[in-house]
């Protein structure tokens, strides 16, 4: 790559060492029987951890995890921490020593952002909203956050690594909100497209993948032009089946007698409609299928075939010339040395 620029889309975090994904603040750690002064929570690690404190851009939700009890954020929501720490102020104090830094909490502040070296944006007190529920006057879109991040990071002559998650896709599937899940999938696709549009293929590697799939199924044989959120046809019991169903989850499709529910009586067009499932569960599960991976840019051809997920970071490290293993830059230097040694080698002479 020309300048080592690396851009990557993946799902899940890169900075926290934790035994429980719910340990977002010190209260949750203590509630589980651990000492939060020893077992640090996720928000604390993001601001103070060896990896997290070196991030130049942090954008997302969870504002109450960064504020102490008794202190309220810009929207009047109380903080959750018991340790009295204001991690937002901690970030401001630390980053002020490393360049111009800015903390933002709404969309307007983000889109009007000036020249900064460090950026922290916390737009909700907890999870970000589903894209179909998002208030565009308060919460930025994933595309807007992606563009802002690239704008800040691309000023680094040494290149950058950006990790973007469409995290609400997973949350919607767990609730069998198919319409919201696909809405956030489209929002994620828009963010990927924006990244493609504002970066160069000669020096930017973009990788898109997932950590798992869900039990959502696309059923046949719906007629041409059918609504994907509607009905596909009739089963042998004379009742309709939907184009989209889940194997399990909260949208159980049978009544107490074991007879399938007549979906024609449902309001399937609602964005929070729970799509039919076969097995009743409070939350839909992940599935066990392989997930795809797509890549564009330098060394994108290495992301092909079927392989274990732990291969991915090794290929990324190779392409971006970082880490302790063999890298593309190292191999390029070896090739150049071999060419020079061949060029200046003494020719063989016959006696």
Question: In whole angstroms, how large is the CA radius of gyration of the chain?
Answer: 25
Residue-by-residue DSSP string for 207-243: EEE-S--B-EEE-S-PPTT--TTSEEEE-TTS-EEES
Q: How far is CA 277 from the centre of its chain?
A: 26
Q: How confident is the model at residue 11 (pLDDT cuts 50, 70, 90)?
A: very low
Residues comprising the binding site for Zn(2+)?
A: 170, 174, 211-212, 286
Task: For tokens 């928000």, name the residue.
Answer: 43
Mean pLDDT on 95-105:
95
- Work out the average pLDDT over 274-297: 96
C-alpha span between 44 and 47 (Å, rounded) = 5
Residue-wise pLDDT tens digits, 123-170: 999 999 999 999 999 999 999 999 999 999 999 988 999 999 999 999
Report DSSP state, residue 167. Answer: T
For the segment 102-117, the average pLDDT, to the nearest whole number, is: 97
Non-local CB neighbours of 95 within 8 Å, separated by 6+ positions: 101, 118, 120
pLDDT at residue 31, as a whole number: 97
pLDDT of residue 258: 83
% of the chain surpassing 90 pLDDT: 83
| Mean pLDDT value across the chain | 91
Enter the tokens of residue 184: 């956030």
Region of residue 70 (phi > 0: left; psi between -120 and 50: alpha; otherwise: beta): left
Q: Which residues are annotated as a binding site for Mg(2+)?
A: 165
> Parallel, antiparallel, or unpaired: how do β-strands 118-122 and 101-104 relate?
parallel
Q: Which domains does the chain have, with CATH numbers?
A: 6-214+305-343 (3.40.720.10), 215-285 (no CATH)
pLDDT in the model for residue 276: 96
Distance CA 148, CA 143 (A): 9
pLDDT digits (tens, 9 = 90+) for 224-258: 999 999 999 999 999 999 999 999 999 887 888 88
pLDDT band at 350 (very low <50, low <70, confident <90, very high): low
Contact partners, residue 342, CB within 8 Å, separation at least 6: none
Q: What does the pLDDT average to over 195-223?
A: 95
Q: Which residues are annotated as a binding site?
A: 165, 170, 174, 211-212, 286
Helix/strand/coil for 199: coil
Please state, in angstroms and rounded to a whole number, the distance separating the CA atoms of residues 185 and 148: 20
Q: Is the pLDDT of residue 299 over 90?
A: yes
In terms of DSSP bridges, do strands 240-242 and 57-60 run parallel, antiparallel, or are they unpaired? Answer: unpaired
Alpha helices in 51-207 (DSSP H): 87-95, 107-111, 142-153, 168-174, 178-198
């Amino acid at each position: 790559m020309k300048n080592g620029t690396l851009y990557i889309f993946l799902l899940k975090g890169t900075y926290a060492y934790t035994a429980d994904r719910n340990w977002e603040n010190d209260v949750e750690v203590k509630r589980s029987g651990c000492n939060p002064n020893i077992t640090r929570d996720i928000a604390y690690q993001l601001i103070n951890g060896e990896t997290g404190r070196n991030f130049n851009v942090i954008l997302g939700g969870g504002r109450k995890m960064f504020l102490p009890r008794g202190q309220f954020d810009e929207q009047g929501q109380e903080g959750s921490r018991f340790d009295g720490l204001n991690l937002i102020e901690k970030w401001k104090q630390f980053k002020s020593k490393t360049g111009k830094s800015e903390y933002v909490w709404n969309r307007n502040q983000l889109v009007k952002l000036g020249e900064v070296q460090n950026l922290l944006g916390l737009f909700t007190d907890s999870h970000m909203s589903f894209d179909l529920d998002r208030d565009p006057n308060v919460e930025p879109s994933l595309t807007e956050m992606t563009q802002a991040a690239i704008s800040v990071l691309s000023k680094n002559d040494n290149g950058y690594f950006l990790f973007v998650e469409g995290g609400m896709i997973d949350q919607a599937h767990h609730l069998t909100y198919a319409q919201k899940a696909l809405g956030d999938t489209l929002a994620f696709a828009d963010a990927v497209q924006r990244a493609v549009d504002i970066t160069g293929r000669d020096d930017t590697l973009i990788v898109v993948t997932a950590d798992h799939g869900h039990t959502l199924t696309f059923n046949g044989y719906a007629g041409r032009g059918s609504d994907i959120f509607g009905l596909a046809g009739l089963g042998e019991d004379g009742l309709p089946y939907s184009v989209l169903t889940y194997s399990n989850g909260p949208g159980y499709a049978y009544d107490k007698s074991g007879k399938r529910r007549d979906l024609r009586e449902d309001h399937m067009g609602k964005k929070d409609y729970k799509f039919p499932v076969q097995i009743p569960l409070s939350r839909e599960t992940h599935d066990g299928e392989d997930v795809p991976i797509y890549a564009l840019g330098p060394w994108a051809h290495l992301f092909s075939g079927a392989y274990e997920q732990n291969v991915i970071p090794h290929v990324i490290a190779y392409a971006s010339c970082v880490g302790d293993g063999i890298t593309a830059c190292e191999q390029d230097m070896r090739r150049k040395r071999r060419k020079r040694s061949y060029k200046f080698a003494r020719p063989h002479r016959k006696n």
